[in-house]
Structure 1
Amino acid sequence: MTFLDKLDAAWAASGSLLTVGLDPDLSRLPAELRGRPDAVLEFCREIVDATAAYACAFKPQIAYFAAEGAEEQLEAICRHIREKHPGIPIVLDAKRGDIGPTAAQYAREAFERYRADAVTVNPYMGYDSVAPYLDWRDRAVFVLCRTSNPGGSDLQFLTLEGEPLYLRVARLTTQVWRERADALDGQLGLVVGATFPDELAKVRATVGAGVPILVPGVGAQGGSVPLTVQAGLDTRGTGLLINSSRAILYAPGEDWRAAAAAAARDTRDAINAARIGAPA
C-alpha cells in the first residue's frame, strides 16, 4: 500500500480532512499528569484515542518530545497509533534539511525508528535533501513550500524569473523532483499554511489534483477553515491534511479528554461544512 492509498482510505473512512497535531507542552498538561515520568506518553495517547474518530492523520512534532528527552515516549505513541488506529497515517513533523548520508540517517529515524508514514522536510539544499527519503516507496515526504509564519515571506516571496520562490518549490517538488526520483503518486506532498489562502490557491492550481497538501495554521494561528478549504481542495474533494494542534490539545473544559474530542469534532464539522460549499 502506498502512502496515498492509505491516505485515501483514511479520508474515506473518517469523512474528515482534519489532522490532529501532537505538540505536548509540559507546562500545559493537565494537573493530574504533571510530574509523572510518562506524562507525555499518557497525554498524547489519551488525545489520540479521544480524537481518532475525527482525524485523517496524526502529526507529532518531534521537537516537543526531543526537548524533554521523550523520544522513547514518541516511539510508544507511534506504536499505539499503529496498533489501535492502524488506518490513520502518522506524519512526523521533523522539518529535516540535510543531504547525503546525514539525510539518509534522518530518513531512517523517521521511517524505521518511529515508523512514520510521512515526514516533513526543508528543501533549502535542493533535491539532495529530499531524495534519501524517497527510497521508502510506501512512505511520503511533505516539502516545506509556503509556511504559515509571517517571516516565511523573507525568502519564500523572492522572485525568480518572474515566479515567487514558493511556487518554484511547488513545481520542482511535484514535477522535476518527482520525475527525477520516479516517485509514486502522492509520495511527494507540500506544506502550505492556512494563514495564506491566496498562496494556497496558487499552489493547488500549480500542482493540480493528487498532490497532498499539509496545511498548518488553523486554530491557534488563526487560519480560516472556509478559506483554506476553498483554496486547497482538489477536484476529488480531498487533497488536504488540515492540521490543528493547540486548539485541540488544550481546549478548555473540566474533562480535557472530552474537550479535545469536542474541539476535534467541531473542527472536522467546520471543514466538512466548507467542503459542501467549495467549488468542484
Structure 2
Amino acid sequence: MAERTFYASLHRAWGDGRYVCVGLDPDNVLIPDCIVGTVERRIGEFCRTIVDATESVASAFKINSAFFEQYGVPGARLLEELIAYIKDRQPDRLVILDAKRGDIDNTNRYYARAVFDVLGADVVTVHPYMGYESLRPFLERADKGVIVMAANSTPGAEEFQGLMVGEPPRAMYEHIGRTVAENWNRAANCSVTAGATEPDKLARLRATVADMPILLLGLGAQGGDLDECLRVGRARRNFGLIPNSSRAILYASSGRDFADAATDAARSFNRRLSGA
C-alpha cells in the first residue's frame, strides 16, 4: 500500500504530472447563477462540481476555512462534507486546510485534533510567531503536513516579514524559512509559503529551504509571474512547488459551462507548470 504522508503524496502527484493546487474559496456572489437554492446549497454544489472537474490534474485542493466559517454551523458542516467528498473520490489528493492556526501548545493540541482527526484534512497552514513548542502538536504529526507562513505578497506583509533579524542579518521571512527547514522539519512534513508576485523572495526562500516544498500563492487572478517563479522556485531534486490557483480556475466562466471552463483552465495551468 502506497505511503500517504504529505511528502509521499506530493511526490506521487508530481511524478504523475499533476502539479496544480486548486484553491477552493467559494464566494457566493461569484458562483454562477445556474446553481440555485440557499447559499449553503449553492456553495456545496459549486465546490463539488469544481472538484469533479479538476481532480484529474490537481495535486491538492486548498480550502480556505474562512469562506465556510462565515456561515456558522451550516458552513462548518459544509467544510467537513467537502473534505470527506474529496477524500472519498480521490484519497490520494492532498486536502490543505488554509486555516492559519497558531496559539499556545495546549490550544494547538485541540486545533490539530479538529483539523486532522475531525475534519480529515491532510495539511494545515500555521503562523510561526509563537515558535516550535507552541506548534509541536502539528509538527509532531508525521502523517500530516504543516505549511508555515513565511513570505506573502499581500499589501502590508512587508511590515513584519521584511524586517532584518539575526546575525548575519536576513529578512524575517528568510529566517522563518531557515528555521523551519533546519530545526522544525524533524518529521519531514513541513513547507513554507511564498508569494508569486515577488519572485525574488521566492528565489531567496528556495536557496534557504533547499528541496522543501513551497506553497506558491498569488498565481492566476493575482497576476503572479508563473514562468519566473518556475525558473527560480523549482527544487533541484523534485518539482518543489505547490502552485495554488483559485479564482482563475473557479470563475473561469460565470455561465452554465463553468465546470468545463474550470477543467480547461486547470489543464492549461498544469501544462504550463509541466513545461508542455
| Coarse TM-score class (shorter-chain normalised) | over 0.9
Equivalent residues in 2 for 1:25-40, closer than 5 Å:
25-36=27-38, 37-40=40-43
Q: How far, CA to CA, are the matches of 1:142 and 1:207 in structure 2?
A: 13
Whether 1:92 aligns to 2:92 is no
Q: Helix, strand or coil for the counterpart of 1:189?
A: strand
Q: How far, CA to CA, are the matches of 2:87 and 2:183 in structure 1?
A: 33
Partner of 1:189: 191
Partner of 2:184: 177
Q: Percent identity?
A: 42
Partner of 1:52: 55
Partner of 2:12: 9
Q: How far, CA to CA, are the matches of 2:248 and 2:230 in structure 1?
A: 18
* TM-score normalised by L of structure 2: 0.93
Equivalent residues in 2 for 1:102-251, closer than 5 Å:
102-160=107-165, 161=167, 162-178=169-185, 183-185=186-188, 187-209=189-211, 211-251=212-252
CA-based RMSD of the aligned residues comes to: 1.4
Equivalent residues in 2 for 1:237-276, closer than 5 Å:
237-252=238-253, 254=255, 255-273=257-275
- Report the Cα offset of residue 253 of structure 1: 5.5
Deviation per CA, 1:94-141: give whole Å up to 9, x if none: 011111211111111110122111100011112233211123221010
Paired residues, number? 267
Partner of 1:19: 21
Q: How far, CA to CA, are the matches of 1:51 and 1:112 in structure 2?
A: 26
Pick closer, same or farther for the CA change 1:237–1:8 going to 2, 3 Å. closer
Whether 1:73 aligns to 2:78 is yes
In 2, are the aligned partners of 1:96 and 1:120 still within 8 Å (CA)?
A: yes
* TM-score normalised by L of structure 1: 0.91
Q: How far, CA to CA, are the matches of 2:266 and 2:200 in structure 1?
A: 25
In 1, are the aligned partners of 2:30 and 2:254 still within 8 Å (CA)?
A: no
- Report the Cα offset of residue 146 of structure 1: 0.3
Q: How far, CA to CA, are the matches of 2:19 and 2:237 in structure 1?
A: 13
- Report the Cα offset of residue 234 of structure 1: 0.5
In 2, are the aligned partners of 1:130 and 1:141 still within 8 Å (CA)?
A: no
In 1, are the aligned partners of 2:33 and 2:254 still within 8 Å (CA)?
A: no
- Report the Cα offset of residue 35 of structure 1: 3.1
Q: Helix, strand or coil for the counterpart of 1:267?
A: helix
- Report the Cα offset of residue 237 of structure 1: 3.8
Q: Which runs of 4+ in 1 moved over 6 A?
A: none
Which protein is richer in helix relative to its size? Answer: 1
Q: How far, CA to CA, are the matches of 1:50 and 1:153 in structure 2?
A: 36
Q: How far, CA to CA, are the matches of 2:238 and 2:137 in structure 1?
A: 31
